[in-house]
Amino acid sequence: MFKFNFEVEEDASEDPQSVKSPIFEKDAEEADSEKTKDIDWYQAVKVQPTDNLISILDFYELNAKEIEVGKTTIRHLVAGFLLDDIKAQSDLQDLDIRKSEENHSDLIAGVYEGGAKIWECTDDLLQYLSEKHEDSFWKDKRVLDLGCGSGLLGIYAIKQGARVDFQDYNKDVLEYITYPNILLNVEETLTDDEKLKFLDTNTNLYAGDWSHFAELTKDLEKYDLILTSETIYNTENQGKLLETFAGRLKSDGVVLVAAKSHYFGVGGGLEQFSGKIKQGNVFRSESVWQADENLKRGILQLNFK
């Protein structure tokens, strides 16, 4: 049984050139945490498909699940199957995904950030997108699926006609989950070479810490839309998240954040995050969707002021 291990800390050794003159100042609690624990956050890198991606795709096809989002069908790997497959391969001992499984935790500070699991707020945001936007909305859009994990948000955007980049903390997640999921959703009639060309033409995948990702891509075209789900649970990383929004969003762009109203044990949640946004005085935010269930969830929309 996986569980959250909410002991992720802000990076005390952050390269000062990564985020210059922070817009979103750290509060006293965040500053104190930086002094008490030094986490070596992964540097950002662009991730390429593994050499055997195409050859194992037929095997993945047999173990994929379908979900319906409005009029769109999305296929994706089942996490349980994937984890069993990884554990069965002796040459994959060092994968961060495997370490999380062996530690029975979805979060290992500085090592793994829960990318193998599809969190419920992702479903909320998928449904919201399907109901809110017509097909024409996506034409010529540049979209970022930030903290993508399985990549379902970005895959939905691709299938509507957008060009999408994917970012996740873990390279392993992108190689063994996100890339296969993207290819499970391309036209089946494409040849192997055409599938690889599709990836090269329509997507970029990046691993690593948010602030390092923002620095790595600072000279590239910015995004019309940034989609992110279940990424605000750790208050100590929210400053980096907001800095990434500010650095990678077009001036007239939109950010959609799907999250729970409260994450027990760490104090993060939509209300707290809204206060952080207001404190930064960079974005205006509004609640555009809410679920009134036992564990309340919602979606925030952010725009530059």
pLDDT tens per residue, range 160-219:
999 999 999 989 889 989 999 999 999 989 999 999 999 999 999 999 999 999 999 999
Enter the pTM of the model: 0.82
Average pLDDT over residues 225-229: 98
Average pLDDT over residues 55-64: 86
> Containing H/E element for 225?
strand 223-229
Higher pLDDT, 269 or 22: 269
Q: Does domain 45-304 have CATH number 3.30.70.2860?
A: no
d(CA 24, CA 209): 17
Q: What pLDDT, on the 0 to 100 scale, is given for residue 22? A: 52
Please name the residue ranges forming H helices in the chain: 28-36, 57-61, 79-88, 96-102, 120-132, 152-159, 171-173, 179-183, 192-202, 210-216, 238-248, 270-280
Alpha carbon 38 to chain centroid, angstroms: 23
pLDDT per residue as tens digits for the range 83-138: 666 666 655 555 666 555 555 445 545 444 544 567 789 999 999 999 999 989 99
Q: Binning pLDDT at 50, 70 and 90, where does residue 76 land?
A: very high
Domain spans, the chain: 45-304
Distances in Å between the Cα of 68 and the Cα atoms of 29, 88, 126, 146 are 42, 31, 10, 22
Dihedral angle sign, alpha carbons of residues 270, 276, 282, 284: positive
